[in-house]
Amino acid sequence: MLSKELLDVLVCPKSKQALTYVADQNLLVCEASRLAYRIEGDVPVLLIEEARELTQAEVDRLVALDLSRR
């Protein structure tokens, strides 16, 4: 589980936009660049070349999962 303080300062290295934390998928999602960054242990892997590209539908689904848990 990532801390609120850490999530407040993390941004996507590609778009420089805020990331959405999807805890049950253990991912950080950037809506702007449509990338998903994995989290290993409690360490986000914020490398563009390691990120997974998402479709807009996948982004919408993952962000909706996060919003439903708030």
User: Tell me, what CATH number does 38's domain have?
Assistant: 2.20.25.10
**Hunting for tokens 């708030």 — which residue is that?**
70
Domain that holds residue 45: 4-68
pLDDT tens, position by position, 18-39:
999 999 899 999 999 999 999 9
pLDDT tens, position by position, 37-61:
999 999 999 999 999 999 999 999 9
pLDDT tens, position by position, 3-16:
989 999 999 999 99
The domain total for the chain is 1
pLDDT at 1: 81
Q: Which residues contact 21 (CB under 8 A, 6 or more apart)?
A: 2, 7, 27, 28, 66
